[in-house]
Amino acid sequence: MISCRESKSVGRILMVLAVAAAAGFLGTPLSAASKAPISFDVWHSYTATAKYLKDVAAAYPEITSLIEIGRSTMSRPIYVLVVSNMKTGTTVDAQVPLRNPRAEGVKNVVPMKPYMGKPGHFICGATHGNEFTGTEVCLYTIDKLVSGYGTDKDITALVDAKAFYILPVLNPDGLYNSLEKGISQRANIMLRDDDGDGKVNEDGPDDLNGDGFVTQFRYKDPNGMFVQNDADPRLMIRIRPNEKTDKPRWSVVIEDKDNDGDGKRGEDPEAGIDLNRNFPEGWWNEQGFAGGSGDYPTSSPEARAVAEFMVTTPNIFMAQWFHTSGGFTYRPLGTAPHSRLDPRDVAVLDFVMGKKYLEILGYEVPAAWKNPGTIPALREELRKTSKNKYAIDRGYELPFAWKVSYDEEADRRYSYGMTTDWEFLQFGIWSITTELWNPAKDMLGLTSSDGPGTEGPGDRADQERLLLQFQDKKYGGKAFLDWKPFKHPQLGEGEIGGWKPNYSNNAWPGEALIGVCDKHYRFEMFRAGLLPDVVINSAEAKILYTTNSARDAAAAVSGDVVNIKKGSGKGRYRIIEVTATLENKGPLATHTARGSTLRGNREDVVWLVGDRDKVTYLQGTPHIRLGVMDGAIRIPGTERGGPGGGPGMRGGGGPAAPAPAAPPQMMRRGAAGPMQVREGGARRQVRWLVAVEGDSPLKIVVSSQKGGTHVETLKVK
Amino acid sequence: MRKHTLIILAVLLAGTLAAQTKLQLNPGGYHGELDYPMSWKRYYAYEEWTKIMRDLQQKYPQLCDIQSIGKSRMGRDQMLLTITAKATGKPETKRAMWVDGAIHGNEVNGITCSLYLAWYLLTRYDYDPFVHGIVDSTTFYVLPGLNVDANDSYVRFPNTENNPREPYRPVDDDGDGLFDEDQSEDVDGDGELSDMYVEDPDGGFKLTPDKRRFVSVEDPREEVKRFRRVGAEGFDNDGDGLINEDDIGGPDPNRNFPYGWTIADGYPYPMSEAETRNVFEFQLGLSNIFASFHYHNTGRLIMFQAPPAVQTQAPAGAGAEYAQRAQQIAQQRLEALRKRDKYIYRAPRQVAPEYQHDLDVQNEIVSAGARILKDFTPTIGGLSGQAHAATYYMFGAYSYLIELWGDPTSEADIDGDGEVSDEEMMKWIDLELMGEGWVMPHKAKHPDLGEVWIGGTSRKHIGRTPPARYIELEALRQTNFVLYAASQFPKIEFGEIKVTPATDDLYWVEVEVKNDKAYPTSSDRAVALRRAVMDKITVGAGGSCEIVAVPKAQTAVDPWNRAAQSEVVAAAGTEFRLKGHETKRFCALVRLKGSEGTVEFAVKSKMGGAAAKKITLKMD
DSSP-derived letter for residue A277 is: G
Q: Mean per-residue pLDDT for B505-523?
A: 96
Of A12-16, A147-151, A415-419, B581-585, the range with the lowest mean pLDDT is A12-16
Q: Do B238 and A98 touch (CB under 8 A)?
A: yes
Tell me how close the Cα of B88 comes to any Cα of chain A, in angstroms. Answer: 25
Pairing of strands B582-605, B506-515: antiparallel
Is the sign of the CA dihedral A146, A152, A155, A160 positive or negative?
positive
Strands (E), A489-600: 492-499, 534-558, 561-584
How far is A321 from A311, CA to CA, in rounded Å? 17
Interface test with A, best of B171, B174, B183, B310 (most A CBs within 10 A): B174
Q: Which of B429, B405, B395, B435 is nearest to B112 (CA)?
A: B405
Q: Which tens digits make up the pLDDT trace of B45-81?
A: 999 999 999 999 999 999 999 999 999 999 999 999 9
Residue A338 corresponds to which amino acid? H
Q: What is the pLDDT of residue B434?
A: 76
Q: Do A598 and B263 touch (CB under 8 A)?
A: yes
On chain A, the residues whose CB falls within 8 A of the CB of B261 are 280, 297
Out of A108, A283, A623, the one facing B170 most closely (by C-beta) is: A108
Q: What is the pLDDT of residue B4?
A: 53
On chain B, the residues whose CB falls within 8 A of the CB of A295 are 284
Q: Are A169 and A135 in contact (CB under 8 A)?
A: yes
How far is B224 from B206, CA to CA, in rounded Å? 7
Q: Are A320 and A420 in contact (CB under 8 A)?
A: no
Residue B230 corresponds to which amino acid? V
Strands (E), A437-560: 480-488, 492-499, 534-558
With 90 as the cut, is the pLDDT of residue A674 above it?
Answer: no
Considering only CA atoms, give the Rg of chain B. 30
On chain B, the residues whose CB falls within 8 A of the CB of A289 are 529
Q: Do B268 and A101 touch (CB under 8 A)?
A: no
Q: Do A599 and B267 touch (CB under 8 A)?
A: yes
Measured CA distances, A304 to A313, A696, B274, B277 (Å): 14, 46, 11, 11
Q: Are A601 and A705 in contact (CB under 8 A)?
A: yes
With 70 as the cut, is the pLDDT of residue B537 above it?
Answer: yes
* pLDDT level of residue A636 (50, 70, 90 thresholds): low
Q: Are A437 and A463 in contact (CB under 8 A)?
A: no
* pLDDT level of residue B493 (50, 70, 90 thresholds): very high
Q: Which tens digits make up the pLDDT trace of B98-140?
A: 999 999 999 999 999 999 999 999 999 999 999 999 999 999 9
Question: How far out from the chain centre does Cα A108 lie?
Answer: 28
Neighbours of A661 (CB within 10 A): 14
Q: Do B245 and A670 touch (CB under 8 A)?
A: yes
On chain A, the residues whose CB falls within 8 A of the CB of B245 are 669-671
The CA-based dihedral angle spanning residues A391, A395, A397, A403, taken in that order and rounded to the nearest 10 degrees: -80
On chain B, the residues whose CB falls within 8 A of the CB of A108 are 73-74, 168-170, 180, 248
Q: What is the pLDDT of residue A678?
A: 59
Q: What is the pLDDT of residue A8?
A: 46
On chain B, the residues whose CB falls within 8 A of the CB of A101 are 183, 185, 237
On chain A, the residues whose CB falls within 8 A of the CB of B178 are 92-93, 96, 98
Considering only CA atoms, give the Rg of chain A. 30
Measured CA distances, A548 to A150, A359, A571, A612 (Å): 49, 65, 6, 20
- Taking the CA of residue B127 as centre, how many other CA atoms within 13 Å lie in the half-sphere pointing to its CB? 16
With 70 as the cut, is the pLDDT of residue A571 above it?
Answer: yes
Tell me how close the Cα of A388 comes to any Cα of chain B, in angstroms. Answer: 29
Residue B438 corresponds to which amino acid? W
Out of A102, A296, A669, the one facing B185 most closely (by C-beta) is: A102
* pLDDT level of residue A462 (50, 70, 90 thresholds): confident
Q: Do B270 and A298 touch (CB under 8 A)?
A: yes
* pLDDT level of residue A321 (50, 70, 90 thresholds): very high
Q: Do B177 and A93 touch (CB under 8 A)?
A: yes
Q: How far apart are the first and last CA of chain A?
A: 61
Closest chain B residue by Cα to residue A94: B178
Three-state secondary-structure class, residue A188: coil
Q: Which tens digits make up the pLDDT trace of A110-161?
A: 999 999 999 999 999 999 999 999 999 999 999 999 999 999 999 999 999 9
Tell me how close the Cα of A382 comes to any Cα of chain B, in angstroms. Answer: 35
Beta-carbon contacts of B210 under 8 Å, excluding residues fewer than 6 positions away, are none
Out of A100, A288, A617, the one facing B185 most closely (by C-beta) is: A100
Closest chain B residue by Cα to residue A298: B270
Is the sign of the CA dihedral A304, A310, A311, A313 positive or negative?
positive
Confirm or reject contact between A109 and chain B (CB < 8 A). yes
On chain A, the residues whose CB falls within 8 A of the CB of B70 are none
Q: How far apart are the first and last CA of chain B?
A: 16
DSSP-derived letter for residue A351 is: I
- Expressed in percent and rounded to 5, the helix, strand and coil fractions of chain B are 25, 30, 45
How far is A203 from B484, CA to CA, in rounded Å? 47
* pLDDT level of residue B411 (50, 70, 90 thresholds): confident
The H or E element spanning position A67 is: strand A64-71
Q: Please tell me the total number of residues recorded for chain B in this structure.
A: 620
Q: Which tens digits make up the pLDDT trace of A209-250?
A: 999 899 999 999 998 999 998 888 999 988 888 888 889 999
Of residues B529 and A460, more confidently modeled: B529
Of residues A10 and B127, more confidently modeled: B127
DSSP-derived letter for residue B187 is: T
Q: Are A163 and A153 in contact (CB under 8 A)?
A: no
How far is B146 from B141, CA to CA, in rounded Å? 13
Tell me how close the Cα of A91 comes to any Cα of chain B, in angstroms. Answer: 8
Out of B73, B184, B241, the one facing A622 most closely (by C-beta) is: B241
Q: Please tell me the total number of residues recorded for chain A in this structure.
A: 717
Q: Mean per-residue pLDDT for A489-494?
A: 93
Of B101-115, B135-149, B429-443, the range with the lowest mean pLDDT is B429-443
Q: Are A106 and B74 in contact (CB under 8 A)?
A: yes
On chain B, the residues whose CB falls within 8 A of the CB of A671 are 174, 242, 245
Tell me how close the Cα of A295 comes to any Cα of chain B, in angstroms. Answer: 8
Confirm or reject contact between A713 and chain B (CB < 8 A). no
The H or E element spanning position A389 is: helix A389-394
Q: What is the pLDDT of residue B431?
A: 86
Out of B235, B248, B394, the one facing A106 most closely (by C-beta) is: B248
Q: Which of B89, B91, B88 is nearest to B80 (CA)?
A: B91
* pLDDT level of residue A681 (50, 70, 90 thresholds): confident
Residues pairing with B492 in the sheet: B515
Beta-carbon contacts of B532 under 8 Å, excluding residues fewer than 6 positions away, are B396, B522, B523, B526, B577
Q: What is the pLDDT of residue B317?
A: 73
Q: Do A298 and B269 touch (CB under 8 A)?
A: yes
Out of A283, A304, A623, the one facing B240 most closely (by C-beta) is: A623
On chain B, the residues whose CB falls within 8 A of the CB of A426 are 263, 268-269
Q: Are B224 and B204 in contact (CB under 8 A)?
A: no
How far is A35 from A37, CA to CA, in rounded Å? 6
On chain A, the residues whose CB falls within 8 A of the CB of B72 are none
How far is B204 from B230, CA to CA, in rounded Å? 11
How far is B414 from A421, CA to CA, in rounded Å? 56
With 90 as the cut, is the pLDDT of residue A176 above it?
Answer: yes
Backbone angles phi, psi at A551, to 5 degrees: -135, 155
B225: exposed, middle or buried (Cβ count in 10 Å: 0-12, 13-18, 19+): exposed
On chain B, the residues whose CB falls within 8 A of the CB of A298 are 269-272
Angle CA(B330)–CA(B343)–CA(B526) in degrees, nearest 5? 75
CB contacts < 8 A (A, B): 140
Largest CA distance in chain A: 117
A positions 290-319 inside 8 Å of B (CB) = 295-299, 304, 307-308, 311
Q: Do B242 and A671 touch (CB under 8 A)?
A: yes
* pLDDT level of residue A376 (50, 70, 90 thresholds): very high
Q: Do B175 and A621 touch (CB under 8 A)?
A: no
How far is A30 from A10, CA to CA, in rounded Å? 9
DSSP-derived letter for residue A353 is: I
DSSP-derived letter for residue A464 is: H
A positions 79-108 inside 8 Å of B (CB) = 91-93, 96-104, 106, 108
How far is A595 from A591, CA to CA, in rounded Å? 5
Q: Which of B212, B104, B157 is nearest to B437 (CA)?
A: B212
Confirm or reject contact between A622 and chain B (CB < 8 A). yes
* pLDDT level of residue A449 (50, 70, 90 thresholds): very low
On chain B, the residues whose CB falls within 8 A of the CB of A599 are 264, 267
A619: exposed, middle or buried (Cβ count in 10 Å: 0-12, 13-18, 19+): exposed
Residue A358 corresponds to which amino acid? L
Tell me how close the Cα of B149 comes to any Cα of chain A, in angstroms. Answer: 10
How far is A217 from A201, CA to CA, in rounded Å? 22
Q: Could you please report the per-residue DSSP string of A327-387? A: SEEEPS-SSS-GGGS-HHHHHIIIIIIIHHHHHHHT-PPPHHHH-GGGHHHHHHHHHHH--
With 50 as the cut, is the pLDDT of residue A655 above it?
Answer: no
Beta-carbon contacts of A93 under 8 Å, excluding residues fewer than 6 positions away, are A109, A111, A112, B177, B178, B179, B181
A positions 400-429 inside 8 Å of B (CB) = 425-426
On chain B, the residues whose CB falls within 8 A of the CB of A96 are 177-178, 181, 238-239
Q: Which tens digits make up the pLDDT trace of A76-86?
A: 999 999 999 99
On chain A, the residues whose CB falls within 8 A of the CB of B183 are 101-102
Q: Are B169 and B250 in contact (CB under 8 A)?
A: yes
Tell me how close the Cα of B433 comes to any Cα of chain A, in angstroms. Answer: 28
On chain A, the residues whose CB falls within 8 A of the CB of B393 are 288
